[in-house]
Amino acid sequence: MPLSLRYFIVIIVLLSTFLPESNAQRRRKPKIWEGFSVTGRAGANYFYGDLVDDGRTNISLGFTAEKELTTFLSARASIMGGMMSGTQHAYSGGVSDPNSVYAYFDNIYTEFNVGATFKPLNILVGYFKQRSFNPYVIGQVGMIYYSASEYYGAGSGNPDGSKWRDKSGISPSFSGGFGLSYWINSQWSVNLEAVGTLPLSDELDAHSEWTNGAGEIIKTDANDFYYTTSIGITFLIDDSRWKNEPKYNRKAYLKTRSQYKSSSKRNLKSINRKRRKRR
């Protein structure tokens, strides 16, 4: 066999050995969906502003998308929306009268936030995907759109329910809070969050000023505030590339094995039921 042909065969064999390995390494590179999860949220907002002697609680709904950046830090984006409301009592001699309403408001809002989630236990005691309870800290910046209407109450001296004014707009906001997640299985988890939000606006209740008996315009305290508590159900689209700390390998194995066993039993029961129906 000619020497050149021998060299050619050797090169082909070497390439066939190295190329599959290179392709496997490329397949192991991070993908956009690795560590990516989506969460549907439902809860309530609690408004603190000028017109909230009563009725400060309303419903909020939304969803969150999150991606693991490191073993303890994740990027997140969220959209929440719902209604806000509040009622202010009439005052006589500086004393509030709970049976007389001075004014009230309602507001439809939508907020969009981007930020990060920090999980301290993953640093303090080690990264463990199957940890049953995992607390975390939330920090966000965003924008809020509001469309609010203010109405006179019977105690204002104006017709009850007549509209006072409308206010709408978009305001920057800052928010932060805490959360606690509960691991169900390798794809599903449940979490509880409490997040406080500070918009850079005093018009979420449409009430930033009022006129006294002498006709003077009085400015109210600056900036409204609200916080939202919600429960969420999270679906993990694809597992992250991070590995459990070695000390948790046994715990992770036992936990996931019991999960797969119970899943297999359910599937077997379902198959047996179908077979009995066919008979």
Q: How far apart are CA 68 and CA 241, in angstroms?
A: 9
Q: What is the pTM of this model?
A: 0.78
Q: List the Cα angle 140/219/103 in 5-degree steps.
A: 85
pLDDT digits (tens, 9 = 90+) for 110-142: 999 999 999 999 999 999 999 999 999 999 999
Q: Looking at the structure, do residues 102 and 155 belong to the same domain, yes or no?
A: yes
In a domain, 16, yes or no: no
pLDDT of residue 95: 72
Q: Looking at the structure, do residues 108 and 80 belong to the same domain, yes or no?
A: yes
Q: Looking at the structure, do residues 232 and 186 belong to the same domain, yes or no?
A: yes
* Summary mean pLDDT of the chain: 83
pLDDT of residue 173: 96
Residue-number span of the structural domain to which 223 is assigned: 33-244
pLDDT digits (tens, 9 = 90+) for 12-68: 554 444 444 333 333 454 578 999 999 999 999 999 987 778 888 999 999 999 999
In a domain, 19, yes or no: no
In a domain, 10, yes or no: no
pLDDT of residue 23: 37
Judge whether residue 274 has pLDDT over 70.
no
Residue 181: closest CA among 228, 115, 119? 119
| Residue whose entry in the numeric block shows the structure tokens 């607390």 | 135
